[in-house]
Structure formats: C-alpha cells, structure tokens
C-alpha cells in the first residue's frame, strides 16, 4: 500500500508565503490564511512544501488505503491560487454561479487572484465544504 506523499510538516507558513515573488499572490495568500483560519478555527500548517492546510482528518478507503489530510487548504501555484474544496463542487451549483472568474478540477478551485471572485461567496463555499467534512469525518 503506497503512503500519502503529502504530509503535514513543521515548515513555517509565514516564511513560505513571504517567499512568494508575486505581490498579489502573496497578499491573496495572507488573506486566505485569515479566512480559512476563521472558518476552521484551526492554525495553518504546511502540508508538503507548497500547500497550506487547516485542520485534519483521517480517511480509510474500502481499498484499505488510509491516511491523513487537511479539511481545507490552498496552494499559491504559479498559474493560479489552488483552493482545495474537499467536498467537491457538485452540491454547490448555486454558489458557483455567483463566485466569479474561476476554473475547477475534482476538488480544486483555481483562481488567478481573489479580486476576480466574490469573497462572500468564497466564504460560503469554504464554510459549506468544512461543514461537509466535519459531518463526514467527525473529530
């Protein structure tokens, strides 16, 4: 059984964010830390070298694979801010219509900059996803 490559580390979230060259992405990242910390009530932690996660949960699949991951998080990637909406997007059609400029993957929300999206809608989306995760994986 392969182990999850992305694990919580002791690296500094502040140092990581302050090392981002792009000023807009750096400021957006600081704002996302505040927002996600408010919503989750959890301190930001580095997961791997480039992901900032909040809270955690233990999962175990029918296949036997198990591990730990964050309940909410983001990564300031070169092309876009990647926000991890762990519940996925299919249950949030109404919110997604009001969000603004974005792309999605399975549970990834790609945003060029926070100015492109409605922050109140983003807050609702993250709150809904965290509530879903808390119900599915109670602490």
Domain range list for the chain: 13-136
Distance set, CA 125 to CA 44, 120, 137 (Å): 19, 9, 18
Q: What is the pLDDT of residues 56-97, one digit of tens each?
A: 998 888 888 888 899 999 999 999 999 999 889 988 999 999
Predicted confidence (pLDDT) at residue 3 exceeds the cutoff of 80: no
Among positive and negative, which fits the CA dihedral 119, 20, 46, 48?
positive
Between 66 and 128, where is the model more confident?
128
pLDDT of residue 4: 67
Q: What is the pLDDT of residues 16-60, one digit of tens each?
A: 999 999 999 999 999 999 999 999 999 999 999 999 999 999 888
Predicted confidence (pLDDT) at residue 136 exceeds the cutoff of 70: yes
pLDDT of residue 76: 98
The domain 13-136: what is its CATH number?
Answer: 3.90.1150.200
pTM for this model (two decimals): 0.93
71: CB partners within 8 A, 6+ apart = 40, 42, 53, 54, 55, 56, 57, 86, 130, 133, 134, 137
């Amino acid at each position: 059984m392969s182990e999850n490559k992305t694990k919580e580390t002791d690296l500094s979230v502040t140092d990581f964010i302050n090392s981002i060259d792009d000023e807009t992405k750096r400021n957006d990242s600081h704002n996302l830390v505040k927002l996600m910390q408010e919503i989750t009530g959890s301190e930001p932690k580095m997961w791997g070298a480039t992901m900032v996660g909040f809270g955690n949960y233990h999962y175990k699949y029918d296949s036997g694979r198990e591990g730990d991951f964050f309940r909410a998080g983001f990564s300031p990637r070169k092309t876009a801010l990647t926000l991890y909406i762990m519940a996925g997007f299919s249950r949030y059609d109404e919110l997604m219509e009001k969000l603004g400029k974005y792309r999605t993957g399975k549970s990834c929300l790609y945003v060029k900059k926070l100015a492109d999206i409605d922050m109140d809608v983003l807050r609702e989306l993250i709150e809904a996803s965290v509530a879903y995760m808390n119900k599915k994986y109670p602490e």
